[in-house]
Structure 1
Amino acid sequence: MPIKTCHKLVRDHIPEIIEADGKICVCETLSDEDYLYLLDQKLNEELAEYQESKSLEELADLLEVMQAVVKVRGWTLEELEKVRADKASERGGFEKKILLKKVVDE
């Protein structure tokens, strides 16, 4: 019986899906510290997958991980949205497609 070794944070229903496929999986529940560390790694993984595929599905995965990070750090999605909106109000968004090419200090 081949064994595939994994060490990655997975979505909550993945163990059930694996077992429904007739396989056995070994899991553990992470400490908050390890969970946050692996969430940060997962952000990088999901961003890389989105950059490669440019798919809406991968962008949704990235958002899911971002929401988990917000929660584990003790913030709320409302707080995140307020910070985003405040920055957009103060500094603007990205709608105008501006490429800053040079800044000359007189």
Structure 2
Amino acid sequence: MVCWKLVRNGIGRELESQEGVAVYRVSGGELEALLRAKIVEEAMELAESGSLEEAADLLEALREWLRLRGLALEDALRAADEKRRQRGGFSGGYVAVWLDREVC
């Protein structure tokens, strides 16, 4: 079985000297796709652990994805603020239950 995933720069440099690990660098569309996968991975880890460290990992992956797209974290925060103004946030704890759907 082969296991591959995007890792932080420092981890990649450390792994380059280890036997049994191939390390290569990507950019452009390949990096963008791997960052999206990393965002999902980190979101799942955050959901499982609830830890600040996983939130930091998710934020770092998101920040790099935004940078690659020519955006900044501040752009995402402005978009989130606008969405909150239009539709509200999540602090109310509302949960919708669709009785006739198997998938949301």
What residue is the counterpart of 1:60 in the other structure?
Answer: 56
Contiguous gaps of at least 5 residues in structure 2: 99-104
Q: Identity percentage over the alignment?
A: 35
Partner of 1:94: 90
Say if 2:48 is the partner of 1:45.
Answer: no
The normalised TM-score by structure 1 is: 0.76
Within the candidate set 2, 18, 22, 1:23 is matched to: 18
| Letter of the 1:59 counterpart | A
Between Structure 1 and Structure 2, how many residues are aligned?
Answer: 97
Superposed CA RMSD? 2.3
Report if aligned partners of 2:6, 2:38 keep a CA contact under 8 Å in 1.
yes
Displacement over 6 Å in runs of 4+: none
Query: Distance in 1 between the 2:5 and 2:96 partners?
Result: 38
Q: Normalised by the size of structure 2, how large is the TM-score?
A: 0.77
What is the DSSP-based 3-state SS (H/G/I as helix, E as strand, rest coil) of the residue aligned with 1:37?
helix
